[in-house]
């Protein structure tokens, strides 16, 4: 997986507004890891896998931004924060979204993650 996502250990720091963000960021990465491994087992093009990987990074940043806007969320487990963010398989609105296509791509990844987390 390190070839697919070599910067994964740096994701929590990249999302970090302040040091307290590192703990939930690290926990979010731990929830994302099985999904990233699952993506490698699917018959997807490299570009599609990379798009999903990049959208996961974006989702993690959106969750950390939400935590900073609503500090009581910091007490919730990472799994619950992620599930809350992708309720119904749709992601949150991207803060600096540049196009409808970008949001649709992001939502597609969130749907896949939602299915992965909810299906037995």
The SS3 of residue 3 is coil
Q: What integer pLDDT is reported at residue 92 of this predicted model?
A: 85
Alpha helices of 1-99 — where are they, by DSSP H?
A: 11-15, 22-41, 46-69, 78-85
- Average of pLDDT values for 107-117? 96
In a domain, 109, yes or no: yes
> Does residue 4 belong to any structural domain of this protein?
no
How would residue 37 be classed by pLDDT, with cut points 50, 70 and 90?
Answer: very high
In a domain, 5, yes or no: no
Does residue 76 carry a pLDDT above 90? Answer: yes
Question: Does residue 52 fall inside a structural domain?
Answer: yes
Measured distance CA(60)–CA(52) in Å, rounded: 12
Question: Would 108 be classed as within a structural domain?
Answer: yes
In a domain, 44, yes or no: yes
- pLDDT per residue as tens digits for the range 7-29: 999 999 999 999 999 999 999 99
Cα–Cα distance for residue pair 36/66, rounded to 1 Å: 23
What confidence score (pLDDT) does residue 88 get? 80
- In-domain check, residue 8: no
Which of 52-61, 65-74, 76-85, 87-96 comes out lowest in average pLDDT?
87-96
Q: Which domain holds residue 71?
A: 21-118
Number of domains in the chain: 1
Inside any domain, residue 13 = no
């Amino acid at each position: 997986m390190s070839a697919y996502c070599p910067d994964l250990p740096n994701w929590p720091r990249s999302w970090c507004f302040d040091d307290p963000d590192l703990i939930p960021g690290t926990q979010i990465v731990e929830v994302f890891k099985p999904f990233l491994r699952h993506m490698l087992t699917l018959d997807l093009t490299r570009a599609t896998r990379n798009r999903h990987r990049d959208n996961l990074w974006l989702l993690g940043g959106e969750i950390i931004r939400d935590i900073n806007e609503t500090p009581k969320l910091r007490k919730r487990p990472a799994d619950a924060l992620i599930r809350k963010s992708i309720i119904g398989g749709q992601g949150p609105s991207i803060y600096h979204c540049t196009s409808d296509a970008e949001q649709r791509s992001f939502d597609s990844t969130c749907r896949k993650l939602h299915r992965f987390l909810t299906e037995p």
